[in-house]
Every structure is written in C-alpha cells, then in structure tokens.
C-alpha cells in the first residue's frame, strides 16, 4: 500500500468505517497556518462524532519544501507553536455551543451574537476569525505532543492533553513523567488532565529464547551504513562511517548541544547513552528498529509484566505500542497480551464512552 498518505484525508476515510477508535493525525505548527489546521481537525471531529486528535509537531526537517530554508531555530519554532495552539483553540471556541439556529422559515443558519471573532495579534500570527465551521463535538480535538527537549516539555506541560514518552529504561521514563506532571501543575493545570503514554516496541516469542532470537534476526536486517547515517543525523550531522558498530563513541565527537536545531530530545538521549558507555550498535538498533522507543523482548507474560511495571511505578498512564511486525507482534498483542492485562485489571474490556476524550478519561475543555 501507499506510504505517507496525508493523515487527515486517511483519518476522514477511517471515520466512515469505524465507530469507536480515536483518530489522531499530525500537523506541523511550523509549516501550516492555524485557520487551516482548525478547519481540518474540526471537520474530522464532526465526521467522527468526537474522535479526533491533533498531534502537534514543530517539525525537525522538511524546510526545503515550504520556503523556510534554513529551518527556523528550535526556540522560534516552539514560540510560534505556542501562539499557534492558542489561536487554533480560540477558533474552535469561536462558535458557542448554541450558535446554530438552522431556522429555515426565518432564513437563519446561525445566531450572529453566538459567533465571535478571534482578533489575535501576536509576534508570529495574525488571525481574525471566527472559524467557518461550528464548534466541534469535543469543543476541541484532543491535543497530543511528543517533545522531549526543555522547550518541548514546557510546551507539553502547558498545552498537551496526551504526551508521547520515548525513553530508554524505567528511570528515564519516570523522570520524564514526573517533570511533565509537575510542569502542568506549575502552569495551573490538573496533572491528571495530561496523560503520559510510554512508547514501547514489543518483540514477542513463544518463549524468552524465541523472542531473543527474533530480535537478533530483526537487528540483522539493518543496513549498518544507513543506520549510522540516521544516528549521525540525530547527533547533529556528524559522520560515523569510519566507526565500527561495536565501538563506543567519544564524547568529544559530539557538537555543543546549543547548536542542535533539529531533534534536541533525541540528541540528549543518545548523548546520555554514549556517556553510559553504550556502543554505536546499540544506538543504531534504537534508532533504526524502534525510532527511539524502548524495546521489550520476551514472551507474553514478560511483555505484560513490563507494561505493568511502568504503570505501577508512575512512569506511564498508558502506552503507545509500535511493534516491529504488525502481522506477528501486533496480532499477539491484541490476542494475548491485552487480554492478559484485562484479566488482571490493568486494561479495560469496553469503551467508557463515545468520544476520544471519554476513552482517555479527559474532560471537555
């Protein structure tokens, strides 16, 4: 099938053939405008009857396609993102809940006094409003974000309702979880209104040995040269071609963190792993097989226990599961791991409502 299709188009199609699942798509705050994004996700929320979510990304690459070459600075992108989200939410709220009249006899579609201009004037954006679509069913779609840099975490604590956590190990995940919750509280938000979902890439086998063998085979499929390029890109564009996979990278090879303008969070993760003495092979496996996620290798019981451990430790409110193989690991997650978690009281057996907010335990704004 075709890859990298435009997400809102795909999600709109999915809304017509599904009844309950959440429909979350990414849209860049650097390469879009708030009015268009507000229209797209308001439309999706109406089409899906309240199941839409917006993954807010500031974009670490792609500037050559949008007239923004070179890529604006990391700080600039997050500053604009903050304005962007405030404007988008204001557009969604520009129609009161009772704005629609739909009075054919009087020829009135909406009550003008219930539709409000936005009139936003900021450093980056100027938007008059109102939106030309009535208020979405959820008031605004669920706001999702995945930042791990200092700017990204501050943005998540202030704006996000679901935060994607991509970390290596329980200690790092717990530290991130606590920082996000504490940051939300510091800006006057209820920490329970920010759900942190830990990213996990589970490799399943009938036995622990089978799972380890599958992981070995999967790692063997990597193109070493390409994997080195991926890691080098995340480390500020350094050339790793002459380093062996089993070598440990010297810290003085890395650029000053202050000059990293793309994925600062991924740079910080790999720098920490290098400081801990991890080999280049380990970095390539994390980057090329799991896109920075924690890899869990084991049988059904082990994967279930791993998830429970993160949840009980207060390092995750839930999980984003991205298996290496949907046909193998994805099916076993659905048919074996999730039922085991349901049996033990850690996963629900039914939806709690009809909207994505209901599913996630989030209140209407």
DSSP code per residue over 175-232: HHHHHHHHHHHHTT--GGGSEEEEEEEEEE-SSHHHHHHHHHHHHHTS-HHHHHHHHH
Cβ-proximal residues to 149 (8 Å cutoff; 6+ apart), any chain: 74, 263, 264, 265, 268
Instruction: Give kind and range of the element (H or E) at residue 165.
Output: strand 162-165
Query: Which residues of the chain are modeled with pLDDT < 70?
Result: 1-2
Both structure tokens of 56: 């807010």
Cβ-based neighbour number of residue 333 at 10 Å: 22
Residues 341 and 170: their CA atoms lie apart, in Å, by 19
SS3 label, residue 246: coil
Name which of 45, 23, 27, 47 is nearest 36 in CA terms: 27
Cβ distance 298 to 193 under 8 Å? Answer: no
Cβ-proximal residues to 308 (8 Å cutoff; 6+ apart), any chain: 341, 344, 346
Cβ distance 52 to 44 under 8 Å? Answer: yes
Query: Over the stretch 147-204, which tens digit does the pLDDT of each residue have?
Result: 888 999 999 999 999 999 988 899 999 999 999 999 999 999 999 999 999 999 999 9
Residues 286 and 279: their CA atoms lie apart, in Å, by 11
Cβ distance 24 to 55 under 8 Å? Answer: yes
- Residue indicated by tokens 């309240």: 50
**46 assigned to a ligand binding site:** no
How far from 142 is each of 44, 153, 171, 220, 290, CA to CA, in Å?
12, 17, 28, 39, 25
Predicted pLDDT at 86 = 98
End-to-end CA, the chain: 38
Residues 162 and 359: their CA atoms lie apart, in Å, by 12
Cβ distance 190 to 199 under 8 Å? Answer: no
Cβ distance 167 to 132 under 8 Å? Answer: no
Q: What is the pTM of this model?
A: 0.90
303 phi and psi angles, rounded to 5 deg: -65, -45
**78 assigned to a ligand binding site:** yes
Both structure tokens of 58: 């500031």
Count Cα atoms within 13 angstroms, Cβ side, for 116: 15
Delineate the domains of the chain, giving CATH numbers in brackets: 7-199+300-325+345-360 (3.20.20.30), 209-295 (no CATH)
**359 assigned to a ligand binding site:** no
Predicted pLDDT at 2 = 64
Query: Over the stretch 57-84, which tens digit does the pLDDT of each residue have?
Result: 999 888 888 987 788 898 999 999 999 9
Predicted pLDDT at 311 = 98
211 phi and psi angles, rounded to 5 deg: -65, -40
- Residue indicated by tokens 């790999």: 270
């Amino acid at each position: 099938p075709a890859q990298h299709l435009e997400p809102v188009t795909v999600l709109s199609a999915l809304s017509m053939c599904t009844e309950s699942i959440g429909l979350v798509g990414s849209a860049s705050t650097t390469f879009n405008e708030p009015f268009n994004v507000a229209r797209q996700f308001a439309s999706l929320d109406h089409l899906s009857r309240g199941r839409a979510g917006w993954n807010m990304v500031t974009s670490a690459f792609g500037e050559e396609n949008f007239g923004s070459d070179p890529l604006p600075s990391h700080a600039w992108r997050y500053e604009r993102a903050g304005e962007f989200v405030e404007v988008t939410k204001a557009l969604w709220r520009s129609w009161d809940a009772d704005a629609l009249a739909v009075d054919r006899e009087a020829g009135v579609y909406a009550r003008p006094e219930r539709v409000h201009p936005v009139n936003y004037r900021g450093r980056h954006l100027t938007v008059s409003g109102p939106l030309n679509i009535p208020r979405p069913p959820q008031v605004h779609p669920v706001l999702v974000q995945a930042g791990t840099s200092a700017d990204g975490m501050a943005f998540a604590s202030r704006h996000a309702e679901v935060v994607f956590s991509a970390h290596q190990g329980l200690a790092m995940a717990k530290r991130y979880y606590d920082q996000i919750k504490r940051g939300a509280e510091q800006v006057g938000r209820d920490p329970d209104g920010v759900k942190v979902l830990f990213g996990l890439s589970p490799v399943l086998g009938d036995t622990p040995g089978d799972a380890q063998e599958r992981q070995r085979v999967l790692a063997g499929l990597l193109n070493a040269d390409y994997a080195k390029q991926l890691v080098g890109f995340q480390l500020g564009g350094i050339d790793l071609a002459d380093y062996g996979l089993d070598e440990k990278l010297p810290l003085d090879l890395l650029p000053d963190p202050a000059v990293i303008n793309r994925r600062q969070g991924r740079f910080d993760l790999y720098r920490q792993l290098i400081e801990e003495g991890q080999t280049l092979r380990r970095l390539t496996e994390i980057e090329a097989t799991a896109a920075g996620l924690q890899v869990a290798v084991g049988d059904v019981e082990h994967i279930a226990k791993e998830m429970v451990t993160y949840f009980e430790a207060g390092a995750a409110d839930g999980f984003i599961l991205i298996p290496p193989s949907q046909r193998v690991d994805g099916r076993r997650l659905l048919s074996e791991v999730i039922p085991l978690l349901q049996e033990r009281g850690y996963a629900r057996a039914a939806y709690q409502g009809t909207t994505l907010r209901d599913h996630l335990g989030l209140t209407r704004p």
